[in-house]
């Protein structure tokens, strides 16, 4: 009697897990599972499909980091836009250390540009030292 109670409670627990998984991945249209409607094989298939869908969701398409949009503003003629972009890139590099090498490389490319005024070059060098 005790063994049957344990196995039925285990079965109910598994069915609840499958039901939650099914609702999570297949939406609100997924109905609750009853003893008559889902076999163990069907439950395994549902879990397998949900797992495969979760793997597909975890693969995110390549996104452009937001600091690259700021980097484009470094080419602006307006000194205010240039300084604001450099300031915000420096703030990003300080707060997110994983982006610091990439932002330093962007600053190095800007320094290599021969068309910049001495003021802009000094400002960029100060930002690099700040990082």
**What does the DSSP assignment read for 26-46?**
H-TTPPPP-TTT--HHHHHHH
Q: What is the pLDDT of residue 69?
A: 79
Q: List all residues 6 or more positions away from 127 whose beta carbon is below 8 Å from its beta carbon.
A: 86, 87, 89, 90, 107
Give whole-number Cα distances, 36 to 12, 15, 109, in Å: 13, 12, 67
Helix axes 100-112, 118-130, angle to 10 degrees: 160
Print pLDDT tens along the chain (131 aa).
455 555 677 778 777 777 777 666 655 555 555 555 777 888 888 888 888 887 776 556 666 677 787 888 888 888 898 889 889 999 988 888 888 888 888 888 888 877 788 888 888 888 888 88
| Gap between the Cα atoms of 47 and 116, Å rounded | 59
- Distance in angstroms (rounded) separating the CA atoms of residues 17 and 1: 24
Residue 5 is predicted with a pLDDT of 55
Q: How many Cβ atoms sit within 10 Å of the Cβ of residue 74?
A: 21
Q: Using an 8 Å Cβ cutoff, are 85 and 97 in contact? A: no
CB 46 within 8 A of CB 31: no
Question: Quick one: three-class SS letters along 88-103?
Answer: HHHHHHHHCHHHHHHH
């Amino acid at each position: 009697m005790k063994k049957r109670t344990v196995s039925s409670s285990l079965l109910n627990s598994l069915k609840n897990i499958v039901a939650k998984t099914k609702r999570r991945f297949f939406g609100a249209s997924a109905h609750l599972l009853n003893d008559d409607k889902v076999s163990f094989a069907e439950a395994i298939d549902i879990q397998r499909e949900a797992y495969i869908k979760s793997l597909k969701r975890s693969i995110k398409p390549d996104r452009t980091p937001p600091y690259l949009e700021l980097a484009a503003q470094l080419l602006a003629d307006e000194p205010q836009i240039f300084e604001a972009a450099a300031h915000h890139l420096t703030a990003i590099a300080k707060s997110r250390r994983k982006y610091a090498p990439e932002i330093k490389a962007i600053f190095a490319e800007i320094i290599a540009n021969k068309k910049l005024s001495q003021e802009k070059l000094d400002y960029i060098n100060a930002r690099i030292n700040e990082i």
